[in-house]
């Protein structure tokens, strides 16, 4: 019984730490891109980079790869520049165009109007 309680506390602690870390990247993204808090991108919350739970969508994976290449755990202008010209979700619109058009760069169903 004691082992179960210890395992539960550890899992809850890890979950809390993960949930506290991710909003920092989201807030940095909004700040660096100048996206309005009332935009679809801001409203997307975690689904901007995540598909389900902790699984990353294509845009999240590209950001993760760019951050790893830049050897940083912070979202920086250089990281955003590295993914700007990519089309993470393969919908024929660059990530930069999607952000400027207020569509989700990790969701192929969300794309800029032609």
Here the tokens at position 95 are 């990530």
77 burial via Cβ count (<10 Å: 0-12, 13-18, 19+): exposed
Q: Is pLDDT of 17 > 50?
A: no
**What is the pLDDT at residue 54?**
87
Whole-model pTM? 0.78
Contact 94, 86 (CB under 8 A): yes
- pLDDT, tens digit, for every residue of 29-78? 999 999 998 999 999 999 999 998 889 999 999 999 999 999 999 999 99
């Amino acid at each position: 019984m004691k082992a179960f309680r210890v395992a539960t506390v550890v899992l809850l602690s890890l979950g809390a730490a993960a949930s506290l870390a991710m909003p920092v990247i989201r807030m940095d993204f909004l700040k660096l891109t100048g996206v309005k808090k009332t935009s679809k991108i801001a409203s997307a919350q975690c689904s901007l980079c995540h598909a389900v739970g902790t699984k990353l969508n294509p845009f999240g994976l590209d950001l993760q790869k760019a951050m790893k290449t830049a050897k940083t755990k912070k979202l920086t202008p250089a990281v955003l520049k590295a993914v700007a010209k990519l089309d993470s979700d393969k919908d024929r619109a660059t990530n930069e165009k999607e952000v400027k058009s207020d569509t989700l760069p990790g969701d192929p169903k969300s794309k800029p109007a032609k």
